[in-house]
Amino acid sequence: MKPFDVVILGAGIVGSACAYECALAGMRVAVVEPAVPAGAASAAGMGHLVVMDDSEAQLALSHFSRELWRELREALPQTVEYEECGTLWVAADAEEMEEVLAKQQRYANSGIASEMLDERALLEAEPGLRHGLAGGLRVPQDGVIYPPTAAGYFLSVAQQRGAQLIQGKRPVRAAEGEVVFEDGSRLSAGWIVIATGTDTSLCPWLKIQPRKGHLVITDRYPGVVRHQLVELGYLKSAHSVSTDSVAFNVQPRKTGQLLIGSSRQYGELKRKADPEMLRRMLDRAVEYMPSLKQLSVVRVWTGFRAATPDKLPLIGPTPDSTVLVAMGFEGLGITNAPGAAKLVLHHLTGAAVPMDPMAFLPSRVARAEAVHA
């Protein structure tokens, strides 16, 4: 008998959530992490739990996932810093207010609470915003977490259920129920789940591109910002496929610190922060919230989102019947991790999920040459 039912490659938020679900389902689980758990995109991201409505499938997955987070919150340790601060989508002008209306309709159709704000109500909700904005949409049940400790929680629950964390070993091959490591050692399992974020070395046929982002964190300024603030133009930024873009995106942390984003760049692989991109991003933030200017920046860093051509993650089986992937979450890996783990479990055990799993199958964007593999 194989020593593990499932081996999960990657202990980021997605791999950790998969380990959690599989261990709760009674499987014998191994998690492989060559570096530090939740040390890549999971550590670099904001930790915004948000329902995104840019496609039916995304709406279904992010709504489902956000509700899973809400169910978990009693169990999450304090260090996860879960806070249901809500998202406030900010509309700059009348055109964006029309989008607010459409957005509220889409949310309402899915049973998601949201509330339209006019200019006055917007400034009451967030006094730091500049005057002259058109209004906004408050989505009160969206929230914020600190992702590394959330991943740590998933891993520790899985470990309590017998899951094994294999750290410091780099897998170089994953096929036919066997993982081969750099040092030549092997591990066999019924299934392999690849959850290695932007690293597609084990599944090069996947069309995943790293998409660089910048983030800034400030010193502590409690109360300066109350909601996760996102400009409606964010969707334009997130959806532009070719050009570099920035959007106003500010998050209040439970610590009183502010996280300020966001930027998106393709074809840029250097870790170092790009002063020009940073300038554009912060100019945008200050344009919406002039009072940010005096706040002290404690750190600046970059990270890489795993972007797919159609903005949806790749979750499910591959041509190798023993190998599944859970990759390509772009900017929604933190939000979507619990839902993705349920989808993985669905593919492994047939457990029900409240959405169409077909929408996320990797085969939809696999390169033609992979067909021969």
Q: Which positions touch another protein (CB under 8 A)?
A: 36-39, 43, 79, 148-149, 152, 167-168, 216, 218-221, 255, 260, 273, 275, 278-279, 282-283, 285-286, 290, 292-301
Q: Which is nearer to another protein, 157 or 300 (CB)?
A: 300
CB of 168 to another protein, least distance (A): 5
CB of 73 to another protein, least distance (A): 19
Q: Which is nearer to another protein, 95 or 283 (CB)?
A: 283
Q: Reduce the DSSP state of residue 87 to 3 states and report it.
A: strand
Q: Which is nearer to another protein, 206 or 285 (CB)?
A: 285
CB of 208 to another protein, least distance (A): 23
CB of 234 to another protein, least distance (A): 19
CA 204 and chain centroid, separation: 21
CB of 263 to another protein, least distance (A): 12
Q: Which is nearer to another protein, 141 or 164 (CB)?
A: 164
Whether 85 contacts 252, CB under 8 Å: yes
DSSP of 29-70: EEEEESS-TT-SHHHHS--EE----SSHHHHHHHHHHHHHHH
Whether 332 contacts 213, CB under 8 Å: no
Q: Which is nearer to another protein, 22 or 281 (CB)?
A: 281
Q: Which is nearer to another protein, 72 or 300 (CB)?
A: 300
Nearest to 264 by CA among 230, 227, 234: 234
Whole-number Å distance between alpha carbons of 5 and 23: 10
Q: Which is nearer to another protein, 148 or 177 (CB)?
A: 148
CB of 7 to another protein, least distance (A): 18
Q: Is the Cα torsion angle 176, 311, 50, 68 positive or negative in sign? A: negative
Q: What DSSP character marks residue 321?
A: T
Nearest to 246 by CA among 231, 265, 262: 262
CB of 185 to another protein, least distance (A): 16
Please give, one letter per residue, the 3-state secondary structure of 156-209: HHHHHCCCEEEECCCEEEEECCEEEECCCCEEEEEEEEECCCCCCCCCCCCCCE
